[in-house]
């Protein structure tokens, strides 16, 4: 399943993406904005393991972001369970060379539409490090609203940070 917006396509990851994925994600500036379970350095073997995990998803919730026919990042949803089953957490990252081109915002809008209209979800949410103002802008441009700030709730690179919480709900 591909989701399209002109020169942006969200598509399933394939094994042939492993080299490109490892090249893009093996960047400290990207890793500084991701959760610690993502390894750094990020190897081609890490990419292959991630791709294999994504290929087993049913329904598909993780997509490679293709911009002008080139893989430039990843976006995905983490469906919630039990009483939260109509919600999902959203996460994404874009290769550094592709920052500030609107790719993340357009990709986020595509996956929001997919989540609401194909998966039947009614709420998407995420947390963003206080220092990641670019991601905060992406979410706001894609229609997310800040719901709160969790003071001193996350640690990255041995520094305690606030987490900005954002969400969007289906109309």
Residue 96 lies in a domain: yes
CA–CA distance, 57 with 73 (Å, rounded to integer): 18
CA–CA distance, 127 with 90 (Å, rounded to integer): 9
Residue located via tokens 């996460």:
91
Which pair of tokens denotes residue 140?
């706001």
Residue 146 lies in a domain: no
| Model pTM score | 0.94
Residue 133 lies in a domain: no
CATH of the domain at 107: 3.40.630.30
Residue 28 lies in a domain: yes
Residue 65 lies in a domain: yes
Residue 57 lies in a domain: yes
Question: How many domains does the structure of the chain reveal?
Answer: 1
pLDDT digits (tens, 9 = 90+) for 113-168: 999 999 999 999 999 999 999 999 999 999 999 999 999 999 999 999 999 999 99
- Sheet with 87-94, edge to edge strand ranges: 3-5, 8-11, 62-67, 70-79, 87-94, 123-129, 159-169, 145-156
For residues 130 and 32, the answer to whether their CB atoms sit within 8 Å is no
Determine the structural domain holding residue 99 and report its residue range.
Answer: 3-121
Residues contacting residue 117 through CB under 8 Å, at least 6 positions apart: none
pLDDT digits (tens, 9 = 90+) for 74-124: 999 999 999 999 999 999 999 999 999 999 999 999 999 999 999 999 999
Residue 159 lies in a domain: no
Residue 18 lies in a domain: yes
Query: Phi, psi (5° rounding) for residue 61?
Result: -130, -5
């Amino acid at each position: 399943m591909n989701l399209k917006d002109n020169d942006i396509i969200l598509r399933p990851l394939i094994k042939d993406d492993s080299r490109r994925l490892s090249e893009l994600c093996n960047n400290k500036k990207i890793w500084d904005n991701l959760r610690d379970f993502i390894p750094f350095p990020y190897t081609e073997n890490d990419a292959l393991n991630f791709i294999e995990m994504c290929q087993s998803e049913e329904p598909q919730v993780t997509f490679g972001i293709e911009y002008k026919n080139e893989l430039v990042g990843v976006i995905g949803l983490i469906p919630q369970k039990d009483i939260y089953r109509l919600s999902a957490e959203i996460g994404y990252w874009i290769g550094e060379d592709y920052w500030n081109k609107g790719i993340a915002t357009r990709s986020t809008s595509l996956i929001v539409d997919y989540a609401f209209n194909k998966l039947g979800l009614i709420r998407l949410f995420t947390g963003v490090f206080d220092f990641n103002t670019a991601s905060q802008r992406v979410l706001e441009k894609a229609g997310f609203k800040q719901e709160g700030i969790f003071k001193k709730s996350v640690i990255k690179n041995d520094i305690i940070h606030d987490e900005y919480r954002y969400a969007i709900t289906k109309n």
